[in-house]
Amino acid sequence: MSIVNNISEVQQKIAAAAARAGRSPKDIALLAVSKTVPEDRIMEAYRAGLRAFGENKVQEWQTKHLLLPQDCQWHIIGHLQTNKVKYLDDSIALIHSLDRFALLEKLNLEGEKRQIRWKTLVQVNVARDEAKAGLEIEEIQDFMDSVHDFPYVTVHGLMTIGALNAGPEETRGYFRKLREIRDDLLTKGAGGPDGLPHLSMGMSQDYETAVEEGTTIVRVGSTIFGHRN
């Protein structure tokens, strides 16, 4: 299947899952994960109407984004090393992987230096995965409290990968958990003036479940661009 067809199938499935959950499909953004995908294939997705693309390696993003139209919105979705922050610029729409205090400090420092206010999501290890992708649930409240001291970083919600190799119902439980954590944080005053509107959850395997559980951004790679190594 072509990239254009893949995208329209994903969009239809998002709309169907939204309908099942009584949600508007307009409230769910499709982020095309373009890591390892060459520019010409990203352009096919662009021509199909997509503008938001997710990359997980800063070096790869650096070379790629210059070759693509300027109205692309780039999202950083992978582990971000502090020594790579200086290469990012204001074409970064959202950093999904704010996962530690050192990164918060570094983003603020670089943001102040270059007058960029980074939009971020805090990544949470809801599955208590041993690879420790994200903050542990117990750490989040303190982390959210400290964000207020860093004016060049704003948090707009939470992100999780869930668990790789989990069954569908286990995955649903993790997505539900992330939403509950968000709701709980809101009652305790976390987040900016707009609260914590975003939940970034759902990948090729499980984005329909994520839509049913309240995601606002699904991160879909292989289902759009085809399988990769």
Ligand X SMILES: *Cc1c(COP(=O)(O)O)cnc(C)c1O
Please tell me whether residue 159 adopts helix, strand or coil conformation.
strand
Q: Which of 127/220 has CB closer to ligand X?
A: 220
Point out which span in 43-51, 171-179, 209-217, 219-227 binds ligand X (CB under 6 A).
219-227
Query: Least separation, in Å, of the C-beta of 23 and ligand X?
Result: 21
Show the beta-strand stretches assigned E in 43-201: 52-55, 73-76, 92-98, 118-123, 153-159, 198-200
Nearest to 145 by CA among 104, 197, 200: 104
Q: Is 198 helix (H, G, I), strand (E, B) or coil?
A: strand
Which position among 18, 28, 32, 33 is part of the footprint of ligand X (CB under 6 A)? 33
The only residue of 134, 191, 214, 221 in contact with ligand X, by rule CB under 6 A:
221
Angstrom distances, CA of residue 63 to CA of 58, 148, 214: 9, 33, 34
Give me the 75-114 binding string for ligand X, x by CB under 6 A, dash otherwise.
Answer: --xx------------------------------------
Q: Which stretch binds ligand X (CB under 6 A): 113-121, 139-147, 191-199, 217-225?
A: 217-225
Work out whether 195 is an interface residue with ligand X (CB under 6 A): no
CB 99, CB 123: distance < 8 Å? yes
Residue 204 sits in the site that holds ligand X (CB under 6 A): yes
Whether the CB-CB separation of 111 and 173 falls below 8 Å is answered with no
Q: Which is nearer to ligand X, 56 or 108 (CB)?
A: 56
**Distance in angstroms (rounded) separating the CA atoms of residues 110 and 88:** 9
* Beta carbon of residue 4, minimum distance to ligand X (angstroms, whole number): 17
Task: Judge whether 34 and 225 are in contact, CB under 8 Å.
Answer: yes
Nearer Cβ to ligand X (11/222): 222
Rule CB under 6 A: is residue 219 a binding residue for ligand X? yes
**Pairing between β-strand 198-200 and β-strand 73-76 as defined by DSSP bridges:** unpaired
Q: By CB under 6 A, name the one of 94, 203, 211, 217 that touches ligand X.
A: 203
The residues binding ligand X (CB under 6 A) are 33, 35, 56, 77-78, 161, 203-205, 219-223
